[in-house]
Amino acid sequence: MDGQLTDEPQEWRITASETPFRGNKTSVRTDEVEMPDGTVVHRDYQVHPGSVAVVALDEQDRVLVLSQYRHPVRQKLWEIPAGLLDVPGENPLHAARRELYEEAHVEAEDWRVLADVYTTPGGSDEAVRVFLARRISDAEGDRYAATEEEADMEQARVPLPRLVRAVLAGDLHNNVLVVGVMALSAALAGDGLDALRPADAPWPARPFDA
């Protein structure tokens, strides 16, 4: 193909819509969508506020990871710090700083955007911004009081090459960890980390306040 390789905003006509389920943070919507040939089909999908995730890289080029039980898949997964965009229009960098502090009691001085992804675009509108955080240090003050699954989390710092090998071996499955680790590896092999987008780069999937 010629020209810039980029996803294209597009919206087919919705002839009817209902929300049969509303949860605490997400809901399920059913739309009747008119196809280009005029036929109308039903599409069920999760309506999601969006999320942020953080690849926190220390001075020894190790990535901070957390192990957390995830009930839907019945596994304890190694992940990177992440969380929901709980407030409409919330600045994703502010949310990422909060999640890094609450889940790992860590702060960072340098922030960049690694990748923006839709996690499961065939069944959810969830959009995730994956940040790179560098020059990390222990946060000041009291630790966040973790509850439920988060109370059982383990924390580790793992060299990036080991994480890449584990992803390719099929040993690690969390989607934003996979995206973050592979994007970081690609950035290091390419134009370098300073060439990454700034932390306040536009994010059309989830427009935010400054």
Active site residues: 150
Contact present, 206 and 130 (Cβ < 8 Å): no
* Euclidean distance between CA atoms 35 and 50, whole angstroms: 27
- Which of 100, 127, 141, 149 is CA-nearest to residue 205? 127
* Alpha carbon distance 103, 105 (integer Å): 6
Distance CA 74, CA 60 (A): 33
In DSSP terms, 137 is beta-bridged to 107
